[in-house]
Structure 1
């Protein structure tokens, strides 16, 4: 009846969640292939500072990346495009620490969710070819999915308004890690077991990697080509992106590949990669040099034509008429008064950002191979240098921290259930949707999830869920809402976890 999940494994989910907080229209927090990070309100410390007046533009940019510019750590590759040509392209840090290979504009990076624009572009091209319609029911092509009323459309997958639960979060909750291996078939089988959506389609926006993975399956089922093959034939090869592909085989040798790394507590690094073959929500391997060609297609399209570009920039709309910032794998925004079009990416040891200022014909591409990098912030710091004469002045709101520190704590006393009330929640609970069993026991004044894999994770004390009200316990982003039958006995609970809500668990005898 499935495996018992050790709560320590779930803890990894919350690390991922912290990396991938998004906000577009009505935002949601989540995990995994993250993207579309908000532009920082200001990058004050990265602008012109005392002593920089005599530095060249290039020297000021080098200063932004100074902490990465050494032979002892991974780092970032940078490309700055102005009026159709590179005005700067550099590598800072190492692409492979074992072999001492430095990063360069030709280094090949995994770019996480920055890949989504290429998936969306493939769907737009298929719609132009008449192979599908954006308003088709997804189940018309992927019949294995459960039926919902109203049905989910392809357009809703594109704009993250489908309501589908995020598959990376589902797999985390089922005990799978980014380092584990599972297949497209395993994933589709998991999705076929889902009995609910997070919300009614187009009633909300919640970023979902499931939607873009399903788009990759739609490409295959409507064109007869895998997304990798289709994007190569229709996008990458026509644009001359010779070192770009959707990476669907983790055993494949990729020349000039940058390895992904995660920092350790002692100041070192460990390799942080994945064996997962899923593409669509992420999976593109590319270079700063190649992304130049994609950027230029938005000014003089070599593929798709004007209608293609217009569709790529078309924003999603909710049922209530609210217009989202999210378009087709691209997010609209503003930074210090200037319009932007961008998308970030974050997966395992890679971080990416590509932000275009269309009215200025200016783009920053920042690809990093270290999990602690913030390429969004770095990219806007670079924009501060090049566009300083066009950007609106930074408004320092000052004093916010002091004001917040002086606010009175209005939170009430913690909810403390009676021991017998907490004891009623103890038991084994099974989720058909995850095919996993959670075992709960009392730990102090809270509930702990017992281990089904203790021998593999010895030494961990687990995570304690704190009661927040009657029959509700919470740990960070994880909430369990217990249900009772007509006789008042606990019969199960529903679980909420960021990009996954209302997962049903039934109490076992």
Structure 2
């Protein structure tokens, strides 16, 4: 339920309405915005359509592909397994993948979680003649024979999709369940996230938006899938504003795990004093915990921001690729209103 306008500035609501109207047209792919303050929904709106072929409106119940926002769910699965004593952050890669190159003995689960492993990017070794979508197992096959890293594991930060694909496989090998099944059983169902899914080739995702991109002239074209759209651990979750709110509220109440405690336990510093990374989040603690993550893929752009001590969460999902420029004016307005704390554009660009 959205709180009355008396508790949320009518001027601010009008400004957000105007900014969304400026960013998206009602008859084109668009975006959906959710603002939570003090644990209450204070603004929720979607503008645009799910597909140019179907005149179906985006709603707070529409599922968007999360891209790298998915990493927080992969990380939570690992945190749950660690809490149960089924794995350790210090476990080497070779515990789970015995045929990995010798360097795998020096790469730990914790380093995969924090992008500090130095493991090779699968995007850099994909064959030019690849015809079918790559899977997490396909990522492992591509990189397991490479006996070198970008740097000595644990000594630097380099954002890694490969790492999170391997984490999804570690979830499977540790739990004995498929990655989608584990997330359904341990996260989505317990939290009531009834429409959230992990993409599985050949399986339909209900009530979903389809992705688009813009060409050089600004014209929209269909851009829903790529050769890397089937990997799960680094970007395979689809969710809606409605379900993501349930996730946020669970994090607020430590329903699954104490996330702040986990961030203190396993994190890595970013270069240039730009904060830290842990458990699928960029975060900093200059004036209390503040965290964000973006997600970008061939047809979607997403951003989520949380300030736990204020009960603040902002989620902005769009079915247009490379669309973060549409987000920043809204974040600036929320910062001016005292809801957000940091300059999100500057923070995002510094970590991109």
Partner of 1:157: 112
Residue pair 1:344, 1:376 contacting (<8 A) in 2 also: no
Q: Does residue 1:387 correspond to 2:342, yes or no? A: no
CA 1:274–1:71 in structure 2 vs 1: closer, same or farther (change >3 Å)?
same
Give ranges in structure 1 of 5+ residues lacking alignment. Answer: 1-53, 394-498, 500-509
Q: Does residue 1:359 correspond to 2:309, yes or no? A: yes
Distance 1:392 1:108 in 2: 28
Q: Shift of the alpha carbon at 1:102?
A: 1.4
Residue pair 2:136, 2:231 contacting (<8 A) in 1 also: yes
Aligned-partner SS, 2:254: coil
1:104-253 → structure 2 map (5 Å cutoff): 104-148=59-103, 151-171=106-126, 174-175=127-128, 180-249=132-201, 251-253=202-204
Distance 2:342 2:291 in 1: 18
Q: Shift of the alpha carbon at 1:248?
A: 2.3
RMSD: 2.8
Distance 1:175 1:104 in 2: 39
Q: Shift of the alpha carbon at 1:263?
A: 0.9
Residue pair 2:136, 2:233 contacting (<8 A) in 1 also: no
Q: Shift of the alpha carbon at 1:328?
A: 0.9
Partner of 1:371: 321
Residue pair 2:116, 2:158 contacting (<8 A) in 1 also: yes
TM-score, with length taken from structure 1? 0.60
Q: Shift of the alpha carbon at 1:384?
A: 2.2
Distance 1:142 1:150 in 2: 10
Structure 1 range deviating more: 379-388 or 119-128: 379-388
Residue pair 1:161, 1:205 contacting (<8 A) in 2 also: yes
CA 1:193–1:334 in structure 2 vs 1: closer, same or farther (change >3 Å)?
same
Distance 2:13 2:149 in 1: 49
Larger Rg: 1
Aligned-partner SS, 1:56: helix
Distance 1:330 1:170 in 2: 26
1:291 aligned residue (244, 257, 260): 244
CA 1:300–1:185 in structure 2 vs 1: closer, same or farther (change >3 Å)?
closer
Q: Shift of the alpha carbon at 1:128?
A: 1.2
Residue pair 2:296, 2:322 contacting (<8 A) in 1 also: no
Partner of 1:103: 58
Distance 1:372 1:378 in 2: 15
Residue pair 2:16, 2:330 contacting (<8 A) in 1 also: no
Partner of 1:277: 230
Residue pair 1:64, 1:381 contacting (<8 A) in 2 also: no
* 1:2-36: CA deviation from partner (whole Å, max 9, x where unpaired): xxxxxxxxxxxxxxxxxxxxxxxxxxxxxxxxxxx
Q: Shift of the alpha carbon at 1:317?
A: 4.1
CA 1:150–1:234 in structure 2 vs 1: closer, same or farther (change >3 Å)?
closer
Distance 1:313 1:145 in 2: 29
Richer in strand (by share): 1
Partner of 1:349: 299
Residue pair 1:315, 1:325 contacting (<8 A) in 2 also: no
CA 1:240–1:378 in structure 2 vs 1: closer, same or farther (change >3 Å)?
farther
CA 1:313–1:91 in structure 2 vs 1: closer, same or farther (change >3 Å)?
farther
Aligned-partner SS, 1:100: strand
CA 1:221–1:315 in structure 2 vs 1: closer, same or farther (change >3 Å)?
closer
CA 1:391–1:331 in structure 2 vs 1: closer, same or farther (change >3 Å)?
closer
Structure 1 range deviating more: 68-77 or 152-161: 68-77
Residue pair 2:93, 2:105 contacting (<8 A) in 1 also: no
Partner of 2:255: 302
Q: Shift of the alpha carbon at 1:332?
A: 0.7
Q: Which runs of 4+ in 1 moved over 3 A?
A: 182-186, 312-315, 390-393
TM-score, with length taken from structure 2? 0.86
Aligned length in residues:
331
Partner of 1:78: 33
Residue pair 1:216, 1:279 contacting (<8 A) in 2 also: yes
Q: Shift of the alpha carbon at 1:315?
A: 4.9
Residue pair 1:315, 1:324 contacting (<8 A) in 2 also: no
Distance 2:250 2:111 in 1: 25
Q: Does residue 1:60 correspond to 2:30, yes or no? A: no
Distance 2:120 2:104 in 1: 16
Distance 1:187 1:362 in 2: 36
